[in-house]
Every structure is written in C-alpha cells, then in structure tokens.
Chains A and B, each alone.
Chain A
Amino acid sequence: MDPARFCSQSRLVIVAGKGGVGKTTVSAALAMMAAQAGLDTLIVEVEGKTGLGTAFGQGELSYDEVQLADRVRARTITPDQALLEYLDEHGMRRLSKRLTNSGVLDVVATAAPGIKDILVLGKVKQLERAGDADLIVLDAPAAGHAVTFLTSARGLLDAVRVGPVRAQAEDVQELLTDAARTQVLLVTLPEETPVNEAAETAARLRERVGVHLGPIVVNGLYPPVSGLEAAADLVGRAGVPADDAQPLLDAAAFRRSRHDLQQEQLARLAESLDLPQLRLPYLFSPELGPAQIETLAAALADAVTNVEMAS
C-alpha cells in the first residue's frame, strides 16, 4: 500500500505497546513518513519525558504545540491540563484551581474510573474533529495502561449515566470504534515476552474496545549482513590479521544466533496474531535524532508499501 494512502485510512492512529519496545520512536517515524507523504501530522504524547522533543532538539514537549520538523507538530495532553481547558471553555475558570489543587479530581477519578483518560481522549477527539491536522499520532501510555486507557470510555458508560462526562465518553467510544476514524498500531519486539504481550493486548483491544487494529510494527530486527553465513570460510581464506579472526567469527556467530532467535519470534508472532507485520530495522546508532527517525520513516514506508493489507 502506498504510504500516503496508509496514513489517510484514519485520521487518528494510536501507537500502543509495552514500555521499552520503541513506541515513541515508532510514533515519530510514522509521523515523519506521513509528513513526507504530504500530510500535516500532529504527535500527541500523554506522558512527559518521552524524549521525543529532545530527539528533535526541542526539549521536553508541553501542552502547547511545537513544530518538530516540516509538517510534523507535537504536543502533550495531560488530564489536568485538559480539564483546565474544558472548564475555561465552559466559563468555569474560577473553579479550575480548586478542582486541580484540592485533590478533588483524584476523588472524582476514583468515583468514576477512567475519567482522567476520558479527559485526554476527549481532547484528542476535539482535535480530530477540528481537523487541523491530516493525521494525529497518539503515543499511548506505556505498560499495561494502554488497554485501560482505551477501555476508559466503555467503563465510564457503565458508571456514569448522565451529564457531560457521559456525552464525552459516548463521543470517544464512537471515535475509537470507527475504523474510518481510528486505528491502533501495536508495537512489539521480536523477543519472547513482548511477543506474548502483544498477542494478549491485541485480543483485549479487539474484545473490550472494539477498535480496529492496523498492522503490527515489529521493531529492532537485525538487518542482513553479507558474508554472515560463510563467515568461517571467509575469515579462514583471506589474509585476515590473526587478531581480527576470532572477534570477526564471534561477532558473526552472535549476530546469527540473535537473528535466528528473532526469526523464531516473528514466526511465533505470526502464529499467535493474525496481523500483517511491519518490520523495522535495529539501529546500532547510540543516539536517537532526526537522522535515525528519517531512516526508520523510510524503512516504515518500505514496509507499508510491501505489506499485504487484509482489508
């Protein structure tokens, strides 16, 4: 599929996965790919300290949008800020301080679980409706929170029977379950635990949220190396300095074994999860900066172009 078309399938793409799988990096690569395909893209972070801003040399992100690259903007949305803004817009500015400072929001959030998530998702919905970005990439919360985060609307519909919060939850649920507006990109690594967790998360998201799952992004695959299979021959034959021979062989053996393990995990993933896989290369580079994001965006575009989409 053509990257531009891929990025136009839904205005909201939620990037979800466990901590440490490279969710933020994938969000950035996706946004970059969309931008290069001509779409104005907004990345939304729901947690601080994701390092996304710093990767683009901008410092940490804030509630106010910043321009990260050509056609790529980014901002954060936190429950407190979203609530303040909501109250402001509804003529209740005087209340806002009391609500956020007195711990009342914590009490209300406990009385109606998911309300903080709805504040965030409600704001995302508003941005989606406003349409000032062609694509919104939402970097979902890490750890097990992605499922909780996305089921918040459904949970609230059970708990809250009247009022604006219910209306908000209905709107959010409508947004999440409409494949023409929202899809979820799961991110995982070709390793045992992440593969298990990706399959579990996918099942829960389908069952409990009813959200459309796009292809799964598998991050960190060792790119092929020429001569790897014939390492023993090559090193033995040519005039390789004696000091280099063993390290070359060891490094080649390590890469082969890691590669084989990754292939096993890819197969397990394919077996346990019926989603097309978008594979991204492992980057040996120690830093994550604009150049690395460019590389991954290009790799993602390749993967998208070559993948067979079910729908």
Chain B
Amino acid sequence: MTLAPLTRTRRVIVCCGSGGVGKTTTAAVLALEGARQGRRAVVVTIDPAKRLADALGLETLSDTPTRIEGDWPGELWALMLDTKSTFDALVLKYAPSAGQADGILRNRFYRNISSALSGTQEYMAMEKLYELHEEGGFELVVVDTPPTRNALDFIDAPRRLTHFLDNRLFRWMMMPTRAYLKAAGVATRTLLRVISRGVGSDVVQDAVAFFQAFEGMEDGFRQRAERVLHLLSDPATAFLLVTTPRADALEESRFFAAKLEEAGIPVEALVVNRMHPRFAPAGADQLRSRAADQADTDLAGLYENLADFTLLAEVEEAHVTELSARVHPAPLVRVPFLPSDVHDLEGLSELGKYLFDGDGEPAPVGTA
C-alpha cells in the first residue's frame, strides 16, 4: 500500500489520533511528499512542542508559513498554529469597524477565549486550514489535530464556538434597561447574582462587555464556520488516522474511527507507527516452550527474549488487523519502531519510504 495517491489528488489532509503517536511527523512526511510530487504543499502543526520545526530542521516556526528549501519540484511550507492570532484575524475580518475590533481585542474576556475556552484551538486549526486552502494558494494543506480526548472536537468546535457567541443568557445581560432584566425572569436573575457573587462582578462585567462588543458579528462567524465544515466534508479532504499498536492508543483510535463513521466521514488511510518487528515465523507459544526446554542453559534467556518480542508482534498485528478492518478499505501503512526521533529532512524521507514506497506489509522476517 502507498499513500501517494492521497498526496497527489487531495487538497486537504487531516491527521487525527491521540497524543504521542507521531501525528505531527506523519503530517510533515505527507506534505513533503506533496512537494516531491510537484505540488505547493503546506503543513500546519498545532503542537507547541516544536517537534515539527525539529523534524524540518528549523529553529522555530511561526504562524505565517515558512518555506523549506529542498530539491523537489514543488514547494514545501510549514507553520505552527497560533490560536490567538488566528482568532484575532477573524475578529478583524468580521468587525464592522476598526473601533469595534479594537474593543474586542483589548477585552480581557476575549483574551481568555483562546487559552481557556475548550474547542477554540480545534476551531482555529480548522479555520487556519480553510484560510490556507482558500486564500493561501496551496494545492495541498496537511494539518495535525490537537491531541484531544474528545475525538471530534475539531469538527464540533466551529459550531460550538458560534453557539457560545450566541449565548442567550448573556444577551439578556446586555439588555440596557431594567424592564428587560425583569423579562429575564427570576431564575436568570438569581443565576446572574450567583455568578457575580461567585467570581466577582468585574469578571462578569468583562464578559458582558465582550458580548456587547461582539454584537452583530455572530452571523459572519457562523457563515464562516459553515464554510469550514463544508470543506471538511468535501471529497477533496481526506482524514487519516494515525496510531501506535499500544493498547491505549488503539483504544482511542477505535473510538475515533467510530466517531468519524458516525459523522459520515470516511477514514482514508491508517498509519500505524512504532510497530515491533517480527523475528521468527514460529509462534510465541512455540518459542516459549523451546525456552522451557532450554531452562538449564544460557540459551533460555535468548529464547524468552525471542518469545517476548514474537508475542508482542503477534498481538500488535492482531490489533492492527482488527482496526484496519474497521476502516476498510482504507490502506494500512505500518511504520516500524525507529531507533530515534526524526530530526531532519533526511529522517522524514526515511519515514516516507514506509508511507510511499513500501507495500505496507509486515517487515520481512529477520529485519530489525
């Protein structure tokens, strides 16, 4: 199996999976392949740990695309998502006046949104992807997703945030006169009193000021969110599931796969990183009994070791086969345990061999 058709034909590739499974590196390899195929490709990471900059051999990444030079016919660009500046750009775009934009950008409540409101990072990742796709002139946009527990946050997030900005309770609070406050009803008033008592009225005032400043912009935001969602369900967009064969990562991947299926989004490729090699055709049980036969000799330890790794390979293979069947007919790519993390383009190319040249079959017996 090879993922070359994906990078050649798709416009957007979203890498999802739990944390620590190699999403960021996989995304970089995909974008690199796009550049090799002659496309203008960009990879967006949300990973603040600078792993992508690392892998691309860069010191740092900013939130504007940096071009990575290399001997490929296309172009390779990379950037790191900055949630706040992406949000700022949206505010500037949809605010009817510079004064209103300024009022929002300086509001303390607004400044908290990008760091404190869950789902904002996911939404901004999707917004960035949309922006690069629509306005950046890129033929291929590859993005990794936040290592979120809630698998589909990045799909729900645009709707959740626009819903948040529409919050009815806070609309009541913005009403200027007492008559409206009366209309808000006893329950709402009590609620507001409790919140003010709980966190202090200045905190509540910040929120009120924000919703006031935001007045009239919800429609723009909502329409934009709808367009982002539309792009995600477009056939030009492919979702790729990245995992490792560890029990917890697989468990989350199964969950992801189920959620994506529920949302009607097909998984178009499954990448399993860090697979253990299989050293012997014999089964683990068989090797274990040979270890027992050798119990009195120094060979017992070596047989045990071989049996341990064989068991691991057997179990991993069984789990991966099962997960692969769930996302059928998505191609499955197995990437072996590599001796070190990827630090440069050479390392990315090395990794690319498994994604683009290999047949995705288990490593032949005897290659460690």
CB distance from B195 to the nearest CB of A (A): 6
Contact B198 A225 (CB under 8 A): no
Q: How far is the CA of A107 from the CA of B167 in the complex (A)?
A: 8
Is A235 engaged at the interface, CB distance under 8 Å to the other chain? Answer: yes
Evaluate whether A19 and B308 lie within 8 angstroms (CB atoms) in the complex, with A107-B167, A115-B199, A244-B290 already known: no
Contact A254 B277 (CB under 8 A): yes
Residues of A149-205 contacting chain B, CB below 8 A: 159-166, 191-194, 196-197
Which residues does chain B contribute within 8 Å of A24, judged by CB atoms?
Answer: 248
Which residues does chain B contribute within 8 Å of A238, judged by CB atoms?
Answer: 297, 299
Is B232 engaged at the interface, CB distance under 8 Å to the other chain? Answer: no
Which residues does chain A contribute within 8 Å of B249, judged by CB atoms?
Answer: 20
Which residues does chain B contribute within 8 Å of A193, judged by CB atoms?
Answer: 20, 49, 51, 341
Residues of A34-85 contacting chain B, CB below 8 A: 47-49, 51
Q: How far is the CA of A92 from the CA of B190 in the complex (A)?
A: 10
Contact B164 A111 (CB under 8 A): no
Contact B117 A160 (CB under 8 A): no
Kindly specify which of A1-9, A94-102, A131-139, A208-216 makes contact with the partner chain: A94-102
Which residues does chain A contribute within 8 Å of B312, judged by CB atoms?
Answer: 284, 286
Which of A109, A161, A164, A286 is packed against the most chain B CB atoms within 10 Å?
A286
- Chain A interface secondary structure, helix, strand, loop or mixed? helix
Is B302 engaged at the interface, CB distance under 8 Å to the other chain? Answer: yes
Contact B48 A144 (CB under 8 A): yes
Q: How far is the CA of A160 from the CA of B205 in the complex (A)?
A: 12
CB distance from B281 to the nearest CB of A (A): 8
Smallest CB gap from A264: residue in B? B340
Is A267 engaged at the interface, CB distance under 8 Å to the other chain? Answer: no
Interface band, chain B: 35 or more
Smallest CB gap from B297: residue in A? A238
Contact B306 A248 (CB under 8 A): yes
Contact A143 B19 (CB under 8 A): yes
Is B354 engaged at the interface, CB distance under 8 Å to the other chain? Answer: no
Evaluate whether A192 and B341 lie within 8 angstroms (CB atoms) in the complex, with A110-B113, A252-B302 already known: yes
Is B298 engaged at the interface, CB distance under 8 Å to the other chain? Answer: yes
Evaluate whether A20 and B279 lie within 8 angstroms (CB atoms) in the complex, with A165-B199, A234-B302, A247-B306 already known: no
Evaluate whether A20 and B198 lie within 8 angstroms (CB atoms) in the complex, with A95-B190, A250-B279, A286-B311 already known: no
Evaluate whether A163 and B200 lie within 8 angstroms (CB atoms) in the complex, with A49-B255, A193-B49, A244-B280 already known: yes
Smallest CB gap from A189: residue in B? B20
Is B301 engaged at the interface, CB distance under 8 Å to the other chain? Answer: yes
Smallest CB gap from B120: residue in A? A110
Contact B199 A227 (CB under 8 A): no
- Chain B interface secondary structure, helix, strand, loop or mixed? helix
Contact B200 A166 (CB under 8 A): yes
Evaluate whether A251 and B48 lie within 8 angstroms (CB atoms) in the complex, with A20-B18, A238-B299, A286-B311 already known: no
Q: How far is the CA of A109 from the CA of B164 in the complex (A)?
A: 12
Contact B300 A112 (CB under 8 A): no
Is A273 engaged at the interface, CB distance under 8 Å to the other chain? Answer: no
Q: How far is the CA of A227 from the CA of B187 in the complex (A)?
A: 74
Q: How far is the CA of A107 from the CA of B21 in the complex (A)?
A: 33
Contact A160 B341 (CB under 8 A): no
Contact A250 B301 (CB under 8 A): no
Contact A113 B116 (CB under 8 A): yes
Is A291 engaged at the interface, CB distance under 8 Å to the other chain? Answer: no
Is B218 engaged at the interface, CB distance under 8 Å to the other chain? Answer: no
Is B227 engaged at the interface, CB distance under 8 Å to the other chain? Answer: no
Evaluate whether A261 and B340 lie within 8 angstroms (CB atoms) in the complex, with A164-B198, A286-B247 already known: yes
Evaluate whether A197 and B168 lie within 8 angstroms (CB atoms) in the complex, with A18-B19, A247-B365 already known: no
Smallest CB gap from A155: residue in B? B116
Contact B305 A228 (CB under 8 A): yes
Residues of A219-274 contacting chain B, CB below 8 A: 225-228, 230-231, 234-235, 238, 240, 243-244, 246-248, 250-255, 257-258, 261
Q: How far is the CA of A105 from the CA of B168 in the complex (A)?
A: 13
Query: B337-367: contact bitstring with A at CB < 8 Å (1 yes, 0 no)?
Result: 1011100000000000000000000000111
Is A288 engaged at the interface, CB distance under 8 Å to the other chain? Answer: yes
Evaluate whether A247 and B280 lie within 8 angstroms (CB atoms) in the complex, with A49-B255, A166-B200, A235-B299 already known: yes
CB distance from A298 to the nearest CB of B (A): 19
Which residues does chain A contribute within 8 Å of B149, judged by CB atoms?
Answer: 47-49, 142
Q: Which of B109, B299, B341 is A227 in contact with, Cβ under 8 Å?
A: B299
Which residues does chain B contribute within 8 Å of A143, judged by CB atoms?
Answer: 19, 147
Which residues does chain A contribute within 8 Å of B246, judged by CB atoms?
Answer: 20
Contact B199 A228 (CB under 8 A): no
CB distance from A195 to the nearest CB of B (A): 10
Evaluate whether A225 and B304 lie within 8 angstroms (CB atoms) in the complex, with A160-B199, A247-B365 already known: yes
Q: How far is the CA of A225 from the CA of B306 in the complex (A)?
A: 11
Which residues does chain B contribute within 8 Å of A21, judged by CB atoms?
Answer: 20
- In addition to A107-B169, A238-B299, A250-B368, 17 A-B residue pairs with Cβ atoms within 8 Å of each other are A20-B19, A51-B247, A51-B248, A51-B251, A95-B190, A98-B188, A104-B169, A113-B112, A142-B19, A227-B300, A248-B305, A250-B277, A250-B367, A251-B368, A252-B305, A253-B368, A255-B309
List chain B positions with a Cβ less than 8 A from chain A.
Answer: 18-21, 48-49, 51, 109, 112-113, 115-118, 147, 149, 163-164, 167-170, 187-188, 190-191, 194-195, 197-200, 202-204, 206-207, 244, 246-249, 251-252, 255, 277, 279-282, 290, 297-306, 308-312, 315, 337, 339-341, 365-368
The 3 A-B residue pairs whose C-beta atoms are closest, nearest first, are A113-B116, A247-B280, A19-B19
Q: List 25 A-B contacts (CB under 8 A).
A: A19-B19, A49-B251, A99-B191, A102-B169, A103-B169, A104-B195, A106-B164, A107-B164, A111-B109, A113-B115, A115-B199, A161-B202, A163-B199, A165-B198, A196-B49, A226-B298, A226-B301, A231-B302, A234-B298, A234-B302, A238-B299, A244-B290, A248-B303, A251-B302, A255-B309
List chain A positions with a Cβ less than 8 A from chain B.
Answer: 18-21, 24, 47-49, 51, 92, 94-95, 98-99, 102-104, 106-115, 142-144, 159-166, 191-194, 196-197, 225-228, 230-231, 234-235, 238, 240, 243-244, 246-248, 250-255, 257-258, 261, 284, 286-288
